[in-house]
Amino acid sequence: SIGSAANTGTDLNVSGKNYVAYCFAEVNGFSKFGSFTGNGSADGPFVYCGFTPRWILIKDTVGADTAAWLLYDTARNTYNVDGSILCPNLSDAENTNSAWYIDIISNGFKIRSSYGQLNLSGSSYIFAAFAETPFNYSRAR
């Protein structure tokens, strides 16, 4: 468990262990961080980013299977529906299972699966997305 009233959980605040924290700040037109709630349908939720994502990381926080982080990008799969995932927290190879389908679109991404790690009804998911072409901060030539 993570933490307790005395901050002595088995995954946090263990004497002699090293920890890493990755902290990001949202930049308009470049990065977006947030959460969405699954609906359990193959016509899943749409997540607005305000840009076309180049790279998306999604994590189930409370559902049946919170182990895997699901990483999508437009370099490995250049068309929709995208089901090519990497799990950066696991040693697994790339997976192309249809259970993890999403569409990466001009202003965000759309879940195209009812799979529990990606869209369990009522489950909460966190995400990080980075823009393919960050218009707000690019220089014209």
* pLDDT at position 23 over 70: yes
- Is residue 38 classed exposed, middle or buried when 0-12, 13-18 and 19+ CB atoms within 10 A define those classes? buried
pLDDT band for position 108 (cuts 50, 70, 90) = very high
User: Which tokens is 113 given?
Assistant: 């699966």
- pLDDT at 21 exceeding the cut of 60: yes
pTM for the whole structure: 0.79
Q: What distances in angstroms separate CA 92 from CA 69, 82, 95, one per listed residue? A: 11, 18, 8
pLDDT at 24 over 70: yes
- The reported pLDDT for the residue numbered 64 is 59
Per-residue pLDDT at 140 exceeds 50: no
pLDDT tens-place string over residues 66-92: 678 899 999 887 878 877 888 888 777
Structure tokens at 3: 């933490």
**CA atoms of 64 and 126, how far apart (whole Å):** 15
pLDDT at 112: 93
